[in-house]
Chain A
Amino acid sequence: MKLYLKIWRQEHRESKGDMVSYEVEGISEHMSFLEMLDLLNERLIKKGERVIEFDHDCREGICGACGMMINGRAHGPLSGTTTCQLHMRSFKDGETVYIEPFRAAAFPVLRDLKIDRSAFDHIIQSGGYVSASTGQAPESNSILIAHDTTEAAFDAAACIGCGACVATCKNSSAALFTSAKITHLVLLPQGKLESADRIIQMVNQMDEEGFGHCSNTEACEVECPQEISALHIGRMNYEYNKALLIRK
């Protein structure tokens, strides 16, 4: 099939970008979306043009590197799916497809569709861990955790850090990302002693990075490829207020 692509091209962090049109023929429905871009890039090389830069790595939906706005939706039209897992059978012959980077003040564009998501690393650095240095661990079965508790913690821990939640949020809020890590850790008995500090620091860091506030539209949950629940944001707010009280 043939697609008409409009792709965001931008040289550097500071430069002004714009949408550039490309026509791509010979696309098979079995191709992944990124393989379709590979095909276009291969043709751009033949023509002597600079390729379209985009982040990607595992191409199996787990590393969180890929991510673009496709026709205005983070990771494209399917729910629970990363860009790399999206296949061309989801598109129609002759369709026009708009491809843009994940946009947020805290995610500057490096080039084309590549963005800087180090703000997420900073949020984890501010407290998204259990302070258990190597060698300190007790026997693993001495910490009993109910099956359902572990499963609930896992549901939150499954976040791949792609940034789709931020990109889709009208406020560019990182509340889903931050709350998922907070929920993962707060549900478990490990690291309980440091949880109040952790939550306050992570929430403060989220603000410092320039992410907006959550206004509960829950668009993040809709676009999250791991289908992380927006209820975690409620838990984060509850835990944050509790932490403030405890610290008083």
Chain B
Amino acid sequence: MIDAKIPEGNLADKWSNYKDSSKLINPANRKKLDIIVVGTGLAGSSCAATLAEQGYNVKSFCFQDSARRAHSVAAQGGVNAAKNYKNDGDSVYRMFYDTIKGGDFRSREANVYRLAECSMALIDQAVAQGVPFAREYAGYLSNRSFGGVQVSRTFYARGQTGQQLLLGAYQALMRQESLGKVKTYTRHEMLDLVLVDGKARGIIARNLETGEIERHAANAVVLATGGYGKVYYLSTLAMGCNTSAIWRAHKKGAFMSGVSWIQFHPTCLPQIGETQSKLTLMSESLRNDGRIWVPKKAGDDRVPNEIPEEERDYYLERRYPTFGNLSPRDISSRAAKERIDAGCGVGPMKNAVCLDFSKAIKEQGRNKIEEKYGNLFRMYEKINGVDAYKEPMLISPAAHFTMGGLWVDYNLMTTIPGLFALGEANFSDHGANRLGANSLLQSCVDGYFIAPYTIPNFLSAELKGAKVTADHPAFDEAEKLVREQLNRFLNVQGHLSADHFHKTLGKLLYDKCGLSRTKESLKQAIVEIKALKKSFDHDLKITGDDQVNSELEKAGRVSDFLELGELMCYDALQREESCGAHFREEFQTADGEAVRNDEDFCYVSAWEWMGEDSEPELHKEPLVFETVKLTVRSYK
């Protein structure tokens, strides 16, 4: 059994107790300590900047050409905080409860409470940095609602909240760079984690311009490398999003949790062709004013505007009258899939549902809708050539957010001492389903407010030890293996591109380990992935050299996705219940709702890598609920 190291005391006091008793490092000693932060999204940038402000030496890595481009930039809708500015009954406890319930009671109480507790400070911090959150005419901050809650606690900057928050964090990072406390390494990809005496002591990184393999040593390593939803190839993620940093840490001994818990976002643009590379997300905030429907009749070929009101099925309003169009993401996505599978889908591939603004435009006027969602309507028109003020948007669920990731304890430390995982890269706060606008929050809170307490607590014991340098034999060994793998990719000279394998894997996972899964489909998927891996080893073809070579970069990422995909299936297979985003068809009620099994599965699954040819080993962290009562999660 693994220990989450949750502090003693009442739920509301745990984090204060932790901070009061955590060890400190005096400012003169901080500059003797080096920290590597991989990833420059919200979690990575905020953590790197904050640690540098405290006086540590930070090295920051990203594969993009600038820290400002990390995929947090694409988050649209907003960030939650229990400020209760609307006086509508919000509180830290209520936000905690919404998040625990939204995650289908598969997350840790203590972590989730801390997330809600730190949410207010994050809004303060972002405003102080100059993030232009939406304001009322009197100058106060404005809020809106998001799925799965009945209060308005979401702060937003038009449909570009992620961009604005990230620019705040990026600018804080650039400020530390100018002060000499952070050194940023852009166009660098981490290719391995280096362990010395069982502790994380550095990384091997590849300079993506020169191809040089570099060694970087440190007293602690932070992975803030985002989610791995790109494993499905078609997803809302950026093309470069990958699992490589966390997967290579996993292979060095860090456990992975909730691996198959992947959120399918209900409001994305549907696939329309085989060469498509991306399923663009349209913010969930659209569901505040848009109504979701499909034709009542299966196989209805009329264009949406020709289908009269009485022949439309507003299935979310019908099935979940309390939450309606703002039902949580997992439920909304599954309900869409249910209707699409029943033959009621719309669009050229019959794989979409309508998101209709005609009522909102009639009631509020086009100007109001334009002010709230103008950029989203413009984006829709750019991609589809359709004016959504005149006809409904066509939307469809797409792979989006990974609740799973590296297992971390309350310190956000993985099972490898000195290795921390922040933001979407860890599994911690969202259970089996994440609520909208909690992702920006979690990455910021991890980076600004949690890791800067827990990392020094760990480092306080490191001052006495000898300083590890990059000429330690462990670096030789890691570098050698990295070079061997790169050479292997270049030398296979088969006949299929890395994208071919990625697309094949993605399709397979969508069908067999996607919005719903069965024992059969998962077992089959494991067999097929093993075969695909074999083919990858023999048939991969990389052209070009070992310098700027996007195909070589892809090969490494796809190789890791293949192994991860297999673990996703093991994870989904082992968990014989339906919870949140994990929907096993065998475990559902007569009317298609998920059946959770608290008696047998009220734990976090933490998987240990046992080598290429062995099955992963399961460890369990029991989830103990001291404050909330486990209930059936209903939004009816």
Residues of A in contact with B (beta carbons under 8 Å apart) = 12, 28, 30-32, 34-35, 38-39, 41-42, 44-46, 48-51, 53, 55-65, 78, 80-81, 85, 87, 89, 110-111, 114, 116-118, 120-121, 124-126, 128-134, 136-141, 143-147, 149-151, 153-154, 157-158, 160-161, 184-185, 188, 190-191
- Is B548 a contact of A110 with CB atoms below 8 Å? yes
Q: Which residues of B contact A46 (CB under 8 A)?
A: 495, 497, 541
Q: In this assembly, does B71 line the interface, its C-beta being within 8 Å of a C-beta of chain A?
A: yes
- Is B65 a contact of A118 with CB atoms below 8 Å? yes
Q: Which residues of A contact B125 (CB under 8 A)?
A: 132, 134, 137
The listed residue (A41, A124, A137, A158) touching B124 by CB distance below 8 A is: A137
Number of A-B contacts (CB under 8 A): 224
| Alpha-carbon distance A48/B160, docked complex (angstroms) | 41
Q: In this assembly, does B558 line the interface, its C-beta being within 8 Å of a C-beta of chain A?
A: no
Q: Which residues of B contact A60 (CB under 8 A)?
A: 74, 278, 280-281, 379
Q: In this assembly, does B628 line the interface, its C-beta being within 8 Å of a C-beta of chain A?
A: no
**Given A45-B541, A59-B238, A64-B69, also A118-B132 (CB < 8 A):** no
Beta-carbon contacts of B501-543 to A below 8 Å, as 1s and 0s? 0000000000000000000000000000000000000000111
| Alpha-carbon distance A124/B178, docked complex (angstroms) | 9
Give chain B interface residues in 189-243, CB to chain A under 8 Å.
209, 238-240
The listed residue (B128, B134, B547) touching A137 by CB distance below 8 A is: B128
Give chain B interface residues in 36-89, CB to chain A under 8 Å.
46, 49-50, 53, 64-69, 71, 73-74, 83, 85
Q: In this assembly, does B414 line the interface, its C-beta being within 8 Å of a C-beta of chain A?
A: no
- Chain A binder among B24-32, B165-173, B321-329, B466-474: B165-173
Q: Which residues of A contact B175 (CB under 8 A)?
A: 125, 129, 131
| Alpha-carbon distance A42/B275, docked complex (angstroms) | 11
Q: Contacts A139-B124, A158-B160 given; 7 further ones with Cβ under 8 A?
A: A46-B495, A51-B550, A117-B65, A117-B66, A150-B133, A154-B164, A157-B132
The listed residue (A50, A81, A130, A149) touching B129 by CB distance below 8 A is: A130
The listed residue (A64, A128, A188) touching B171 by CB distance below 8 A is: A128
**Given A55-B65, A57-B71, A132-B128, also A31-B273 (CB < 8 A):** yes
Q: Which residues of B contact A80 (CB under 8 A)?
A: 378
Q: Which residues of A contact B71 (CB under 8 A)?
A: 57-58, 63
- Is A141 a contact of B277 with CB atoms below 8 Å? no
- Is B277 a contact of A34 with CB atoms below 8 Å? yes
Q: In this assembly, does B609 line the interface, its C-beta being within 8 Å of a C-beta of chain A?
A: no
- Is A130 a contact of B128 with CB atoms below 8 Å? yes
- Is A45 a contact of B127 with CB atoms below 8 Å? no
**Given A44-B543, A110-B548, also A130-B73 (CB < 8 A):** no
The listed residue (A51, A116, A144) touching B138 by CB distance below 8 A is: A144
5 A-B pairs whose Cβ atoms sit less than 8 Å apart in the complex: A59-B239, A121-B177, A132-B128, A134-B452, A144-B139
Q: Which residues of B contact A30 (CB under 8 A)?
A: 272-273, 276
Q: Distance in Å from the Cβ of A108 to the closest Cβ of chain B?
A: 10
**Given A129-B174, A129-B175, A157-B164, also A188-B452 (CB < 8 A):** no
Q: Of A85, A132, A153, which is in contact with the most chain B CB atoms at under 10 Å from its CB?
A: A132
Give chain B interface residues in 388-437, CB to chain A under 8 Å.
none
- Is B170 a contact of A146 with CB atoms below 8 Å? no
Residue of B nearest to A39 (CB): B275
Residues of B in contact with A (beta carbons under 8 Å apart) = 46, 49-50, 53, 64-69, 71, 73-74, 83, 85, 121, 123-130, 132-141, 157-158, 160, 163-164, 167, 170-172, 174-175, 177-178, 184, 186, 209, 238-240, 272-273, 275-278, 280-281, 378-379, 382-383, 385, 448-449, 452, 495, 497, 499, 541-545, 547-551
| Alpha-carbon distance A146/B204, docked complex (angstroms) | 49
Q: Distance in Å from the Cβ of A212 to the closest Cβ of chain B?
A: 21
| Alpha-carbon distance A185/B157, docked complex (angstroms) | 15
- Is A188 a contact of B277 with CB atoms below 8 Å? no
| Alpha-carbon distance A158/B68, docked complex (angstroms) | 12
| Alpha-carbon distance A46/B49, docked complex (angstroms) | 44
Q: Which residues of A contact B548 (CB under 8 A)?
A: 53, 110-111, 114
| Alpha-carbon distance A203/B595, docked complex (angstroms) | 61
| Alpha-carbon distance A137/B449, docked complex (angstroms) | 13
Q: Which residues of B contact A61 (CB under 8 A)?
A: 379, 382
The listed residue (B50, B543, B550) touching A134 by CB distance below 8 A is: B50
| Alpha-carbon distance A63/B272, docked complex (angstroms) | 23
Q: Distance in Å from the Cβ of A156 to the closest Cβ of chain B?
A: 9
Q: Of A87, A89, A131, which is in contact with the most chain B CB atoms at under 10 Å from its CB?
A: A131
| Alpha-carbon distance A190/B125, docked complex (angstroms) | 11
- Is A190 a contact of B138 with CB atoms below 8 Å? no
The listed residue (A78, A81, A191) touching B130 by CB distance below 8 A is: A191
| Alpha-carbon distance A80/B157, docked complex (angstroms) | 19
- Is A65 a contact of B65 with CB atoms below 8 Å? yes
Q: Distance in Å from the Cβ of B424 to the closest Cβ of chain A?
A: 15
Residue of B nearest to A85 (CB): B382
**Given A139-B124, A188-B130, also A57-B238 (CB < 8 A):** yes
Residue of B nearest to A50 (CB): B544
| Alpha-carbon distance A137/B171, docked complex (angstroms) | 16
| Alpha-carbon distance A87/B121, docked complex (angstroms) | 42
- Is A134 a contact of B449 with CB atoms below 8 Å? yes
- Is A64 a contact of B140 with CB atoms below 8 Å? no
Q: Which residues of A contact B163 (CB under 8 A)?
A: 62, 158, 160
- Is B85 a contact of A141 with CB atoms below 8 Å? yes
The listed residue (B139, B160, B448, B549) touching A147 by CB distance below 8 A is: B139
